[in-house]
Structure formats: C-alpha cells, structure tokens
Amino acid sequence: MAKVVDARGLSCPQPVLLTRRAIEEGQFPIEVLVDTATSRENVRRAAEQAGLQVQVEVIGDEFKLTLRR
C-alpha cells in the first residue's frame, strides 16, 4: 500500500518538506497530491534529486506524483 502525502492547498516549500520527510521514512511507493503546477515541479525535482523515479498523473485540476525507488 502506498504512503499518501496530501499537500493540496499548501504553498511551497511545505509540499517539498512533507515529501522529503516521507522519503526519509522509506515506505515506497509514495503518492504525493498537489494542486499547483509549481508544487508539482518542486516535488518532482526534489524526488529526482533523491534518485527516485517520478510518475505524474493529472487528475482534474490536481496532480498525483507517484515516487518509486
């Protein structure tokens, strides 16, 4: 079961900080929910810098990023 980080409604850098905390916990896959393109790109960049694979899904006006090792 995926760990879910619901960062919708939060402004940067909060979504990135929550994502980094989840990555440190090490429970994969991680699904990160965000509602702005800026948050999507910042989370994607942070995950890729941590060496993770990132899959981005558009769900209406929101985004789901799935992070895997």
pLDDT digits (tens, 9 = 90+) for 7-19: 999 998 999 999 9
CA separation for the pair 69, 59 (Å, rounded): 23
**Length of the chain in terms of residues written:** 69
Encoded amino acid at 28, one letter: F
Range of the domain at 35: 3-68
| Residue 30: band (very low, low, confident or very high) from pLDDT cuts 50, 70, 90 | very high
* Six token digits for residue 54: 């990132």
Give pLDDT tens digits for 47-63.
999 999 999 999 999 99
In this structure, are residues 42 and 12 in contact, taking their beta carbons and an 8 Å threshold? yes
Domain CATH for 33: 3.30.110.40
Average pLDDT over residues 15-31: 97
pLDDT tens digits, 37-48: 999 999 999 999
d(CA 43, CA 67): 10
Q: Are 27 and 54 in contact (CB under 8 A)?
A: no
Provide the pLDDT confidence category of residue 24 given band limits of 50, 70 and 90. Answer: very high
